[in-house]
Structure 1
Amino acid sequence: MSVRTSIKHFRCISSFSFSRSLSSQIQIQKHETQHQQHQQQDPYSLLKQDPIQILLSLWVKTFSSPTSISFPNLTGFLSKLDLWVLAYQRASAHVTGTFPPRSALHYQTLNSLLSLQNAVVRSGFRWHHKTHQLLRSPNDPPLTRPLSNTKLKAIIQSNDPCFQDRVVQEVLLMVLEPVFEPRFSAKSHAFRPGRSAHTVIRTIRSSFAGYLWFLKGDLSELLDYVHCDVILNCVEKAVKDRKILNLIKSALKGSIGNRIRSDDSNSDFDRKTKKRKGATKKKILNENEPKPDPYWLRTFFNFAPEEAAKVPSYGHCGILSPLLANVCLNELDQMMEEKIVEYFRPNKLDSIWKDSISDGSHNSAWPEFVPSSGSEKTRKMDYIRYGGHFLIGIRGPREDAVQIRKEIIEFCERNLGIRLDVVKVEIEHITRGIQFLDHIICRRVIYPTLRYTASGGKIVSEKGVGTMLSVTASLQHCIRRFRRLELVKGDKDPEPLPCNPMLYSSQAHTNAQMNKFLETMADWYRYADNRKKIVSFCAYVIRSSLAKLYAARYRLKSRAKVYRIATRDLSRPLRESSNNSAPEYSDLLRMGIVDAIEGVQFAHMSSIPSCDYTPFPKNWVPDHERMLCEYIRLQDPKFFCDLHRSIKRQCLGLPQDEISEIVWDYKTLGVWRYRSNDGTETKDDSEKTEGAI
């Protein structure tokens, strides 16, 4: 027997012996945990605070503190059972689809949460430890007997994350997100609350007008893998708590163990579970198994842009990975903000930027008149990032763009540990059009008529030359996505094809599904200049595809016959010509047997909404950050002291002072009037008595 085969047999024997011993270990651990639970404190006595108030105080503290201050002790938040209950509720909502109320949690669940909390606080928690789960998923059936070796082996070899890992990730996310959000740059828009791809497009429309050269960078490889030391060095600048750092470090290093798997065991397992070609089996979902996404949502996800298609996943960090990716890329954001300030050189002849770097907050619907080329032209730069992709606009020569690209490549290699090729950071001119988030950024030259009053009161009209930034949706990208979904024939021949996945659905259900898809597409292209055109094309493809589907289902042979019966929006019912004895649709609808058929939306161009040109503020912040800053400002006593001092300085009266003066005058005048009336009454009574005598 060779050495290789002996080692292979030794691996198999050791794995089976290990799986056999797991059942006995589970029994021992079960008795140990039960003994520890009797010694633990009652979990109901630890539920004293509202977790929302705890998190609110943390958000207020982090936003009111300077960004240079680090947080050395965050373990106190991990010791609050209320946060763990909220994390369990959020994790259960992700698994089961329902958010369980706090009062519906069983005593055994709270006890398990308390055990998991103690394991994390006492540094006894291990990620992806499937053989020793302190907290089980609400979908898992209760264990009444030891698991067999086959089930244990399947559990160990599966890559499905543990439910208790998800709960720990939720707690870490709730604690770390308020710490890093005030430190993040306003140029970052991905994986952050209150920001989205729409805010990126609106920022580009309002702030990127007048730029000539654009740098489009791709850092998506950083979303796949980052060295553990790079992430920890970035996290340690804000968090000094060793327990949380060790917890993140162990989660990051857990990915190495998942990657190292036996090739022989994988091949054997794949060989056993490999299905025969052509064998199809319908899958029956369990009661607690998550249901698949509806067809319209899966179709829309296929239209996801390249910049938003990848979500970071580091080791066992799970939902914590996007936050850690932003923590690392925030170093690049801070560097680019410094470069923007250094590069800015204004020119007073420029109609967009004159004196300060904060200028340029203009209405993008109006043209910008720029000076002719020359050495005195304005030098300005702007930067925006969405996930692992960034866009830099430069108003200056191409040599400056080449120099900035070189500095970015050196910074990423030195600080982030990734080597970028020149192809990953492309330099493009505005005249060629820059595609970002499936929108094309280009410049349109227009010739508006300028009217002004000359000397002598004469009105003069002249033709001017101006440029206007245009953000349009990419029609070619939309056609390619439809081709991948097999809804059109080809990229150059957008002939609609029948929507085969909805073959066995009713007409009402099919129209409702496609209406949701069209509404979502219309909202996605909300800020595109050609919104009407792109949404009209999507509606044409969907409507024609459904017409071909209905023609095949109801044996009508052509789209024209379908439109003749069901009208242009396919709102009238269709039925097979062979089944003439079937009851009318109106009778079935009145009896509640069938659903009402709604027509396919956007059948006419007039029903499609226009582009949203609402001005976007230059220093825009999300609503929750604005409310937090306002709340912190109102809680500061200095604010009211300064307000009172300014009112006194301007000789203005407070409403409270005016009301108090009115009340005091009313009281004093009322007393004097009462006394005067009492005196007159006594005088009149004395005169009457004297007259009677």
Structure 2
Amino acid sequence: MMIPRVILDNLTKKSSKEEKYQHQRLYRNLYNKEFFFDAYSNIYAKQGNMTKGTDGKTIDGMSIQRIESLIEELKDESYQPNPSNRIYIDKKGSTNKRPLGIPSVDDKLVQEVLRNILEAIYEPVFTDTSHGFRANKSCHSALKQIQTNFTGVKWFVEGDIKGFFDNIDHHILINLLRKRIKDEKFINLIWKFLKAGYLEEWKFHNTFSGTPQGGIISPILSNIYLNELDMYMKRYAESFNKGKKRKRTHEYRALEWQLTKLKIFVETWKTMNEPEKTEHQKKIKELYKIRNNMTATDPFDQDFKRVLYTRYADDFLIGVIGSKADAEKIKNDIKNFLYKELNLELSEQKNTNYPCNKEKSKIFKL
């Protein structure tokens, strides 16, 4: 059997070369023991993986025989994921708690193999505006992108998707996967995980939507889902953006002309006496000092517009160079897109737009 790294590299190359390439025969990779050995190595040392799942097993009891048995179940498609064990953990920056689903050990291994395959396929097609749950990306890279790209922004639109992880529409997600994956066995396995349900205080609950926070494939599935929003914002910017650069202000252009006239007189420098030279230099220095403290471009230039976008998980920030009406329209357009295309809603508590000022610019600080 081929080495997993070679297989994954080939998947990445195919995704990179052809925008609409559909990957086939992916499920057979789950018959390759090497994928499971790699998966075991990846998850063994991670905190929490010694915790027993709902099947009572731990990763510490893994063996080649156990992996072979798991592969046989995958081959005849009798494999059925266990419901995850739901617990609640503290939510950062809040007194509330968030649910966390702990999969069984066998399910963790299968999910880790799926995650590696999905990342190889989708990483090349994700945009650079997506920063959550990705290698070499983080909240710090998101903030750095905002610092670098949002120069001159007049309005911010801040968005948070209401109960995102619990409200991912399974049917929409599966249809998105089918755009790039032409392997129903592989798709069906993901379906099984989505429908596996969870145990809370030993009571079983069905899952009709969402991906469990704590599931190994949940982060990549969430990025596949919200890549639709990322691509929408990319297209939106292409149609919204206007002008190559902002116009200079009238005051700035007038001062530039004064400097130009003074520089012309440098040609007659030799004919000047010392007091004239001193006065001339003084005027130029004063004008440069004034210019350095002036706003060179017109912030209200109607012929220059930009929309900028950065997302981390289910939170996103949009910078608008334009009017308040532009910012309001962008917010409403996004709200409509999420509802119609992804069956999601924006949280009204966090979905705000506000002008750029020193107080709000604290968000830029790393």
Equivalence for 2:269: none
C-alpha contact (below 8 Å) 2:9/2:120 kept by paired residues: no
Q: Counterparts of 1:72 and 1:377 in 2: how far apart (Å)?
A: 48
Q: Counterparts of 1:258 and 1:316 in 2: how far apart (Å)?
A: 14
Partner secondary structure for residue 412 of structure 1: helix
Equivalence for 1:266: none
C-alpha contact (below 8 Å) 2:111/2:217 kept by paired residues: yes
C-alpha contact (below 8 Å) 2:168/2:210 kept by paired residues: no
Match of 2:241 among 321, 324, 344: 344
Matches within 5 A, 1:570-581: none
Match of 2:3 among 40, 46, 50: 50
Question: What whole-Å deviation, never above 9, does each CA across 1:60-88 have from its counterpart, x for those lacking one?
Answer: 3333x312111132123222221122112
Partner secondary structure for residue 216 of structure 2: helix
TM-score (norm 2): 0.72
C-alpha contact (below 8 Å) 1:169/1:317 kept by paired residues: no
How far apart are 1:219 and its partner, in Å?
Answer: 1.2
Question: What whole-Å deviation, never above 9, does each CA across 1:544-588 have from its counterpart, x for those lacking one?
Answer: xxxxxxxxxxxxxxxxxxxxxxxxxxxxxxxxxxxxxxxxxxxxx
Equivalence for 1:196: 138
Q: Counterparts of 1:129 and 1:429 in 2: how far apart (Å)?
A: 46
1:89 correspondence with 2:41: yes
C-alpha contact (below 8 Å) 2:157/2:354 kept by paired residues: yes
Partner secondary structure for residue 318 of structure 1: coil
Larger radius of gyration between Structure 1 and Structure 2: 1
Q: Counterparts of 1:237 and 1:410 in 2: how far apart (Å)?
A: 23
C-alpha contact (below 8 Å) 1:87/1:171 kept by paired residues: yes
Equivalence for 2:169: 227
List alignment gaps of at least 5 residues for structure 1: 1-47, 98-107, 131-158, 264-311, 352-365, 442-470, 473-527, 529-693
1:396 correspondence with 2:322: yes
Q: CA RMSD in A?
A: 3.2
C-alpha contact (below 8 Å) 2:305/2:321 kept by paired residues: yes
Partner secondary structure for residue 371 of structure 1: coil
Question: What whole-Å deviation, never above 9, does each CA across 1:422-453 have from its counterpart, x for those lacking one?
Answer: 44420111026337xxxx14xxxxxxxxxxxx
1:327 correspondence with 2:269: no
Equivalence for 2:355: 429
How far apart are 1:367 and its partner, in Å?
Answer: 9.0
1:80 correspondence with 2:32: yes
Is the alpha carbon distance of 1:123 and 1:206 closer, same or farther for their aligned partners in structure 2, counting shifts above 3 Å?
same
Partner secondary structure for residue 137 of structure 2: coil
C-alpha contact (below 8 Å) 1:252/1:317 kept by paired residues: no
1:70 correspondence with 2:22: yes
Equivalence for 2:80: 126
Amino acid across the alignment from 1:172: L
Is the alpha carbon distance of 1:70 and 1:434 closer, same or farther for their aligned partners in structure 2, counting shifts above 3 Å?
farther
Partner secondary structure for residue 353 of structure 2: strand
Q: Counterparts of 2:340 and 2:294 in 1: how far apart (Å)?
A: 40
Matches within 5 A, 1:485-524: none
Is the alpha carbon distance of 1:219 and 1:110 closer, same or farther for their aligned partners in structure 2, counting shifts above 3 Å?
same
Q: Counterparts of 1:368 and 1:70 in 2: how far apart (Å)?
A: 54
Equivalence for 1:212: 154
Amino acid across the alignment from 1:249: W
Matches within 5 A, 1:141-540: 160-255=102-197, 258=199, 314-315=211-212, 318-346=215-243, 348-350=245-247, 369-374=295-300, 376-420=302-346, 422-431=348-357, 433-434=359-360, 440-441=362-363, 471-472=364-365, 528=366
C-alpha contact (below 8 Å) 2:152/2:321 kept by paired residues: yes
C-alpha contact (below 8 Å) 1:251/1:316 kept by paired residues: no
Question: What whole-Å deviation, never above 9, does each CA across 1:371-420 have from its counterpart, x for those lacking one?
Answer: 23555451111111011100110111100111111111111111111233
C-alpha contact (below 8 Å) 2:246/2:298 kept by paired residues: no
Q: Counterparts of 1:370 and 1:346 in 2: how far apart (Å)?
A: 16
Amino acid across the alignment from 1:93: A
Question: What whole-Å deviation, never above 9, does each CA across 1:233-264 have from its counterpart, x for those lacking one?
Answer: 22111112111111111111122x5469659x
Q: Counterparts of 1:167 and 1:179 in 2: how far apart (Å)?
A: 19
Is the alpha carbon distance of 1:418 and 1:260 closer, same or farther for their aligned partners in structure 2, counting shifts above 3 Å?
farther
List alignment gaps of at least 5 residues for structure 2: 52-61, 85-100, 249-291
Amino acid across the alignment from 2:30: L
Equivalence for 2:58: none
1:115 correspondence with 2:69: yes
C-alpha contact (below 8 Å) 1:412/1:419 kept by paired residues: yes
Is the alpha carbon distance of 1:368 and 1:346 closer, same or farther for their aligned partners in structure 2, counting shifts above 3 Å?
farther
How far apart are 1:52 and its partner, in Å?
Answer: 2.9
Q: Counterparts of 1:208 and 1:129 in 2: how far apart (Å)?
A: 44
Is the alpha carbon distance of 1:128 and 1:314 closer, same or farther for their aligned partners in structure 2, counting shifts above 3 Å?
same
Match of 2:14 among 61, 74, 79: 61
Q: Counterparts of 2:245 and 2:44 in 1: how far apart (Å)?
A: 59
Paired residues, number: 294
Q: Counterparts of 2:213 and 2:166 in 1: how far apart (Å)?
A: 13
Is the alpha carbon distance of 1:125 and 1:370 closer, same or farther for their aligned partners in structure 2, counting shifts above 3 Å?
farther
Question: What whole-Å deviation, never above 9, does each CA across 1:266-288 have from its counterpart, x for those lacking one?
Answer: xxxxxxxxxxxxxxxxxxxxxxx
Q: Counterparts of 1:238 and 1:367 in 2: how far apart (Å)?
A: 53
Q: Counterparts of 1:56 and 1:407 in 2: how far apart (Å)?
A: 38
Partner secondary structure for residue 310 of structure 2: strand
